[in-house]
Structure 1
Amino acid sequence: MSDLSLVQYVLIAMIFVWSGFVRSGLGFGGAVLSLPFLLLVLDEPLVFLPIIAVHLLVFSSLTIWLNNRKRKPADPSESAAEARARGAAESTVDWRYLWRILGIMIVPKLIGVFGLITMPGNVLSAIIFLIVALYSVSYIINKPFRSGSKTVDAVFLMVGGYISGTSLIGAPLIIAVVAQHLPREKLRDTLFALWFILVLIKMAAFVWVGVDLQLIHHLWLLPCAAVGHVIGLKVHDRMLRAETSVFFQVLGAVLLIVSSIGMVSVLG
């Protein structure tokens, strides 16, 4: 990125502020809602993906750690088993559900990371964005879709894991399933923990094949993402205090935006 103009640098900085905002505000979207705009500035995905990945690792782990520091201190009279049970109940991450869906997604994730199976990108993307659009409309009209089938949910999670492995933008399909099963107060941080694990695998692949991690550009882009992150945290707190229907309508609106951007890029 050393040969970019000043205008391009400013646009990239603004997009990373936006990336940090949507990531902390909703728990997803840092990649899928920023990468299309970044590619309009510089059409080189491998320049931006490592930067986005590092930002996610930093801010997801920091947010989970800070949120769980707020838990009540341990009672000296409780046993170790009681302490673990209380910690699991009070944690902002639903670890049991996380490990369950990770078990479903891990193999497709690795297939996507190492490119063991190649699928027509435009066809797969069109299917994904169509499904996401249907989910988003159901949230907006306050009638969230429920598949009623563990098999359908598993298929969606596996496809989302595969897309996450190829490009880090599988979040919309994954969130469409996960949002059905988690309370909203645990949704964001559970997603953060999931993204951390999935992105760590992707980063290991980047290092393995020698992709430039753009470390020098983290010096100015990390603060940009941090500004957006702080704003997003405040927005997320307000969303949690709002009515449940409002929360899911906002979620649906964002998913519809994501799917619309995706469909335009596919058809274009």
Structure 2
Amino acid sequence: MRLYEIQQDERSEQLFATNLPLIEQNCMEAIWALQDGRTIYKGMNLSGNFYKSNPKLHIRKSQNTSNYYTLLLSNLPNWKNFPPRSQSLICSTSYRKAQTYGNVFIVLPFDGAKIGVCPDSDIFFTKNYDYYSNLDIVDLNNFWASLDFNDFDYLWFLRQFENNYMEIIGILLNGQSVLGNSYAASELGEQMKGAPHHTKEDKLKFLMNLYDPEKNGFILSSVDKLPIGENNEVWTDSESYLLRKSSTLCSQLAEKYGIKL
């Protein structure tokens, strides 16, 4: 997932208030996290200085790629405690990363927000190291797309996966897939063949294992436990304030609370 996603869409509303109480009323946990150096950034092509975003207002699709990983990470049962990717702001803990996508905004989630943390700077680099050392999310996206599976309706995707399970195994073992190399295809095919697959529950379990958040290195966090000084893609479905880093309001917040931005 690339970080350009709130490009002046319906989920963000420009605010013109310049006082801090509005932020302090809803975002003290984020302010305390900023004091510790735990900062969430987002680069956007927006010209204003202060926005309120509610990512739950609209379902979003993956940008510049097929939507499979967003669909699955938002709906698979073992992801239920994470913010759904389809209703989240996609951000970064790296200022430099955000800077490459436009004006840099500080993201202040409302108190109580859940934060999903990717193991790397971009979810595209995510791999399941326990089972598929050469298989990443982009490979899987390309594979589902080559089968023409639905990438917007979760239940439809599941039906296609269940009904074509044996055909998928054959494609993988015959080296006809677009996974990038025959070793990854063969490994995945052998795993599918050897796993229980007689029931819908068995097939769902395999899919859950393939995208397992723990095995893929994802962490469910809060603002006070975010990594410091790292470059991780993060996401939240919380309402949030977005402060342009170069704005007077951001400077006032930093001065009042002794925050280094």
TM-score between both structures, scaled by the size of structure 1: 0.28
Instruction: Judging by fraction of residues, say which structure has more strand.
Output: 2
Greater length-normalized contact order (CA 8 Å, ≥ 6 residues apart): 1
Could you state the TM-score of these two structures normalised by the residue count of structure 2? 0.28
Q: Which has the higher helix share?
A: 1
